[in-house]
Structure 1
Amino acid sequence: MTAPALTRPAEDLPDAPPPLGRNRDYRMLWTGSAVSALGSSISSLAYPLLVLAATGSPTKAGLVGFANTLPNLALPLHAGVLVDRFDRKKLLIVCDAVRALCLASVGAALLLGHFWLWHVLTVCLIEGAFTVLAGIAGQAAIRNVVRQEDLDRAFARSEARDRAAMVFGKPLGGVLLGMTRSLPFLADAASYLVSLAALLMIRRPFQARRTERPAEARPGAWTEIGEGVRWVLRQPFIRVASLLVAGSNLLFQALFLAVIVLLHQANASGTAIGYVLAAAGIGGAAGSLCATWFRRRLPLAAVVIGANWIWALLVPVIGLTRSPLVIGATVAGLAFVGPVWNVAVEVYRLVNTPDELQGRTTSAVTLVAFGALPVGSLAGGLMLDHLSGRTTVLWLAAFMVLLALAATASKAVRTVPAPGRARQEAAA
């Protein structure tokens, strides 16, 4: 059975974008985002290593990750309102400019021989906040840059881009940091400038034409947030899929910590552990290349239910072996499935969401999905403090089986409507 054909909604721009192979604006957007993703991957490794080298405190190094991810809990809903209210391209340009300045300030301070923890934490917090806004704006914009029949391929290429950045960026971050402490941060600042330049060269607007309301006629931010949240709640499949994503994100955040502990207990070298973690990027990139093929040939219900059961079968393998080779192959398999899920589910959501609600619905789904990450880190740490690595993985495997059973039993998943129909049902 093939996936249902995608149809252009009435509120879309009247002049259709060209096919993906001839879509200059999409190529510019993808290229700028690829360079930016590589820069972010470089600095994500350099931040904790810099703080560890300067302070010798793992706790202070952990604060860096906390500051950078805190906006994922605090800002998505309000960011969605901004994305739906204002010009999305201008918002993305502002995000790149602010992040470039922040990273350049860290690089400049280090060049001058200065390190201040408060400065690094502030930059991490600001960069994280504007990254949340940029992520929601970019995802809401993509439907107006490519044809809807090309959405799945566009998302697959984005997934491949991000996974490749993870594979190459983290080792590169270590190399640049070894050359001079300022270089990773200056490289990330330059990557944001490249992304900004690419945005300036895009001619197509990032939102459909709509009637602008004067500021005094606009409802309050919480009213607009409520509109997006209620729309998601009225979509049974999107609601259930978001909860399933939150559950799997929580599990995988704890699982990867357990993988590191297991390998460390097996006396694996740091290089071997690095290769195992890099396998996630390689598997994810491979899954990205196949995601469009699966989306067009399998019903959405089969993708969702199948992905959960594949994860349920693979997770316990990690707890039953200490071989870095077997664990690496299993991690790659787990990561392979992720893009297949992401492309199928996200294309469905974008097709069914009115353009004027794209930012707010994306922010609501993002809050649920990424809000689970710190919970997963906390849960994984607590379990590993009281249980062995193998026992922790087997408990996580049991949790994954429960998620797979929930996906299989869900009527919203098994009877997911065709693209376009969910919007009509919500409007009714």
Structure 2
Amino acid sequence: MSAPAVTRPAEDLPAPPPPLGRNRDYRMVWTGSAVSALGSSITSLAYPLLVLAATGSPTKAGLVGFANTLPNLALPLHAGVLVDRFDRKKLLILCDAVRALCLGSVGAALLLGHFWLWHVLTVCLIEGAFTVLAGIAGQAAIRNVVRREDLDRAFARSEARDRAAMVVGKPLGGLLLGVTRSLPFLADAASYLVSLAALLLVRRPFQTARTERPAEARQSAAAEIKEGVRWVLSQPFVRIASLLVAGSNLLFQALFLAVIVLLHQAHASDTAIGYVLAAAGVGGAAGSFCATWFRRRLPLAVVVIGANWIWALLVPLVGLTRSPLVIGATVAGLAFVGPVWNVAVEVYRLTITPDEIQGRTTSAVTLVAFGALPLGSLAGGLMLSHLSGRATVLWLSALMVLLALAATASKGVRTVAVPGRGHVRQEDTR
């Protein structure tokens, strides 16, 4: 028999978080993340444009996205163990420090007149790895920073923050790249340092009190990973929603590259491309402001099935025109739906998940949902190298229709038990 576990006494536990309007710690986290998101939005456009300008190869431009998102496929499960074992705030500070150093190295190299594809790919890989860890730690932490009843509004504000960063960051990335190649990357490095400083000002712990176990009673990393995966597999809706996100993420990652290539071939300027892609931020910000309203009024199944059909109807429009205005409006429509989906699905998952396994369950969902991103970048680059931009978009449209059909046919989506106010109600949209 193992030694009994020792827990922290109740008087050592932190007081409950204040309401969102008076929550200083949430404001610090939100502000730091907003600046960091702005920097990431700047370089998300600067990376492929830099490689496309330096090499002229859509395939190599796709490799950048592949390297940056590959950690989503390789690291989430082990990152989840770290998030549940160690102090989440310290992990987030470490992630910001490493990413600032990486982006600073690219900016410095370009400032000195050097471009090495291997260097950019390596930085993308390292930055992506620590972004995975930061994303899992941040999601696992949020439930301890805000009240349970404020979760949906906190998520909606985070979505609005990220989409607003996209509105400003995309055109700013093209503009800064036009001034000098190093500027977008130096700006992103500085944004991570601002995020780090904001985290240092947060007083509230990012996890609940942990049970202290003797060394012989601790599980191996593999056993802890298995525990998180088992929980996700036991939840039909969480499992199926993760697969649907994986499919849409793969297709949108390829579509993102296709839009850049289509506009580049139409001789649009880097700044103009940035403005078109910034439309995604406008649409996403609008969706963020509406997300809480939709979540509280529509069944979860309606949100999931409806989102997939709206995407299926809008994606083909990108391939039917070369007009930046029409493409931008379509991208805005696609992005509007994303926050509505994210807030509804993520609040549901975080609400039903015990805090002590938040990191591992988030990592399992991340592996499935975002592990498709590198495949999308790679597939998009290969398709654009062998097909026209229009043909690539039409193929992606057909796949999106299949995804919408799968969502509609899924019993796990159509029937889902959702936490209500003091009770659980069964939803069935059949």
TM-score, structure 1 as length reference: 0.87
Aligned to 1:218: 218
Structure 1 residues 88 and 414: CA distance shift in structure 2, 3 A: same
Q: CA deviation at 1:103?
A: 2.7
* CA distance in 2: counterparts of 1:318 and 1:61, whole angstroms: 20
* CA distance in 2: counterparts of 1:235 and 1:304, whole angstroms: 16
Question: Do residues 411 (structure 1) and 420 (structure 2) align?
Answer: no
Aligned to 1:24: 24
Q: CA deviation at 1:413?
A: 1.2
* CA distance in 1: counterparts of 2:119 and 2:322, whole angstroms: 41
Structure 1 residues 162 and 222: CA distance shift in structure 2, 3 A: same
Structure 1 residues 47 and 256: CA distance shift in structure 2, 3 A: closer
Aligned to 1:339: 339
Structure 1 gaps of 5+ residues are 1-12, 423-428
Per-residue CA deviations over 1:160-212 (Å, capped at 9, x if unaligned) read 11112222123323333444444333322221121111111111110111202
Greater Cα shift, 380-389 or 272-281: 380-389
8 Å CA contact 1:319, 1:390 repeated in 2: yes
| Matched position secondary structure for 2:213 | coil
* CA distance in 2: counterparts of 1:62 and 1:323, whole angstroms: 23
* CA distance in 2: counterparts of 1:108 and 1:272, whole angstroms: 26
Greater Cα shift, 147-156 or 325-334: 325-334
8 Å CA contact 1:268, 1:324 repeated in 2: no
1:246-285 mapped onto 2 (5 Å cutoff): 246-260=246-260, 263=263, 267=266, 269-270=268-269, 272-285=272-285
* CA distance in 1: counterparts of 2:218 and 2:105, whole angstroms: 37
* CA distance in 2: counterparts of 1:276 and 1:240, whole angstroms: 32
Structure 1 residues 312 and 17: CA distance shift in structure 2, 3 A: same
Structure 1 residues 176 and 405: CA distance shift in structure 2, 3 A: closer
Q: CA deviation at 1:98?
A: 1.8
Structure 1 residues 392 and 42: CA distance shift in structure 2, 3 A: closer
TM-score, structure 2 as length reference: 0.86
* CA distance in 1: counterparts of 2:215 and 2:200, whole angstroms: 27
Aligned to 2:94: 94
8 Å CA contact 1:319, 1:391 repeated in 2: yes
Per-residue CA deviations over 1:215-245 (Å, capped at 9, x if unaligned) read 4432211111111111000000000101111
8 Å CA contact 1:89, 1:199 repeated in 2: yes
Structure 1 residues 292 and 94: CA distance shift in structure 2, 3 A: same
* CA distance in 2: counterparts of 1:395 and 1:118, whole angstroms: 31
* CA distance in 2: counterparts of 1:166 and 1:283, whole angstroms: 10
Aligned to 2:354: 354
Per-residue CA deviations over 1:335-373 (Å, capped at 9, x if unaligned) read 100110001000000001111111111111111111212
* CA distance in 1: counterparts of 2:57 and 2:316, whole angstroms: 34
Per-residue CA deviations over 1:121-151 (Å, capped at 9, x if unaligned) read 3333222211111111001100110111111
Structure 1 residues 152 and 218: CA distance shift in structure 2, 3 A: same
Structure 2 gaps of 5+ residues are 1-12, 425-430
Greater Cα shift, 315-324 or 344-353: 315-324
8 Å CA contact 2:66, 2:375 repeated in 1: no
Identical residues among aligned pairs (%):
89
* CA distance in 2: counterparts of 1:118 and 1:258, whole angstroms: 23
Aligned to 2:137: 137
| Matched AA of 2:237 | F
| Matched AA of 2:246 | A
| Matched AA of 1:34 | A
Q: CA deviation at 1:301?
A: 1.1
Structure 1 residues 400 and 87: CA distance shift in structure 2, 3 A: same
8 Å CA contact 2:315, 2:393 repeated in 1: yes
| Matched position secondary structure for 2:90 | helix
* CA distance in 2: counterparts of 1:279 and 1:72, whole angstroms: 26
Task: Give me the CA root mean square deviation.
Answer: 2.7
